[in-house]
Chains A and B, each alone.
Chain A
Amino acid sequence: MGKNAYFSLLFVAAILAVLPFVVPNSFYLDLAVRMAINAIIVLGLNLLIGFAGQISLGHAGFLGIGAYASAVLPTHFGWHPLLAMGAGAAATGLLAALVARPIFKLKGHYLAMATLGLGIIINIALRNEAQWTGGPDGMPVPAMGLLGFELSNDKQWYWVVAGLLVVSVWASLNLIDSPFGRALRALHGSEVASQVVGVDVVRYKVAIFVMSAVFASLMGSVTAHYVGFVSPNFSDFFHSIELVTMVVIGGMASVFGSLVGAVLLTALPQALATFEGWETVAFGAILMASMIFMPKGLVPTLAAKFGKGN
């Protein structure tokens, strides 16, 4: 990491600044907003998976908690949307911290199974508590207001989300190249070596798990307000898998890989819509091909090819 990464950040910021002026219609702007939301979630998840070498197959569950906090608290209790968003993030952080201690005694497949179970439990709870959540039908979400100013159209949302994305990329780059980030990467590289130099590995795993869960929860809230509706599908297992796939396709342990993964996998279903019934098959084939030919993910593979460090 170095000056290069920060130039890349400027480049991303420039693209984000120009984008709304060149997209042909609001369909593409909507797509861009969803890409950016996914990119922020994937950034957090990549810190956990790519950098710290852990796994979570339940992150959509955390996203669901944030989304439903933003739907339920303002609707049933009249909370301000920002307060509801903060409460959702706090609850997610607390839950993640509580379960992380026992969960991170596990490794590999067992860790994957435990996080998978957690995500499914959250999904079932949201589906079953119909008097609060609307059950399988979902529920509408009130609009997000900021200081008397209401976020209503796609363009406003775009600027908010693009701003959040730039800040998230900047913070991720900073984190990786810091004592905290080096400890995370070291426990991935060699857990025992990181322990003997003094890294409390469980504490670091828990911290990054909580942080990535809170990212997912906040973006769940943003999605809920943006779409104006939540459904249990937000938090289901397939959404968790989709998020992990974005990390892997874009490139593990690559900040810009997270962006590329999120952009591609958000756009792909749209691009494949012309295949009609076969889109899932085409989607799967593309994923398989990219894993076979680029197991390290797009950005690291291309960076290595063109001799640029990342």
Chain B
Amino acid sequence: MSMLEVKDLSIHFGGVKAVQNVSFSIDAGIVYSVIGPNGAGKTTLFNLITGVYKPTAGEIRLNGEAIHGKSPNELARRGVARTFQNLQICMNMSALENVMVGAHLRLDRNLFKASLRLPALRRRDTELRKEAADLMDFVGLGSYVNSRADAMSYGALKRLEIARALAMQPRLIFLDEPAAGLNPKETIEVDHLVRKIADSGVTVVLVEHDMKMVMNLSDRILVLDYGKKLAEGTAEEVRRNPNVIAAYLGAHA
């Protein structure tokens, strides 16, 4: 059974139909990519599935449960994590604390226990610091464990977002252009990282413009254009699809 099912999903912003009647499904354990030209609706699709936007029409099911219209924090409880194309790092916190926030739902968040510095809470925080440092190591940020977030480079912050998402111990992770703005060496590192995440059993949904990375990593690919589904299939199928070629390279009518 598929993990995520999207049926006839649409959202309109005034007269702009950013996503129109898009349907697809994602099986557990695969790497699923969403590609398309700029403005095709890829990030909007992510925002719809992760609850940042409410759809105008259509439905989204996660393991059979309807999740459209639920807020992002409710989806987080169901194991859905994401990163952002335009960085959403908390610059008022340290790098490690940014990762620790990812574990929010797994912690005792009681205000009074926290104010009293109860030993159980302190112990859990000490463990969490270790966990978060290990995650930073996992994404290749081992040398930034004691850094402030606002002292890190763009490429490092991109990976810090991934570490924070992984701290949620998600079952499904949405990565919005994890390689955008990175140099070729960093892109290869992110490529390996996404592979490692998928191998750890997390279902990965990827939006990315780096075609080499997409073709290399993806089990299946969805192609969007002007908010509509243009094609869907394996890397090979998509590569040969005449509509896709037309959208990317231009075609004569």
Contact = CB atoms under 8 A, between A and B. Distances in A.
A111 interface: no
Contacts of B101: 182-183, 186, 193-194, 197, 199
A167 B91 CA distance: 29
B115 to A, nearest CB: 4
A189 B73 contact: no
Interface in A289-303: none
Interface of B: 50-52, 71-73, 75-77, 81-82, 84, 88-93, 97-98, 100-102, 104-105, 107-111, 114-117, 121, 125, 164-165, 167-168
A193 B162 CA distance: 12
Nearest first, the 6 A-B pairs at minimum CB distance are A189-B90, A198-B76, A178-B114, A193-B88, A179-B107, A195-B72
Contact of A182 (B73, B88, B93): B93
A199 to B, nearest CB: 6
Contact of A179 (B81, B90, B104, B167): B104
Contacts of A253: 92
Contact of A174 (B84, B107, B116): B116
Interface residues of A, number: 30
Interface in A207-231: 207, 211
A183 B103 CA distance: 10
Contacts of A171: 115-116
Contacts of B98: 186
A171 B118 CA distance: 11
B89 A182 contact: no
Contacts of A195: 52, 71-73, 76
30 contacts: A171-B115, A172-B115, A175-B115, A178-B114, A178-B125, A179-B114, A179-B121, A180-B109, A180-B110, A180-B114, A182-B101, A183-B101, A186-B104, A188-B90, A189-B90, A189-B91, A189-B92, A189-B93, A190-B89, A192-B72, A193-B88, A195-B71, A196-B50, A196-B76, A196-B81, A196-B82, A197-B102, A197-B105, A197-B164, A198-B73
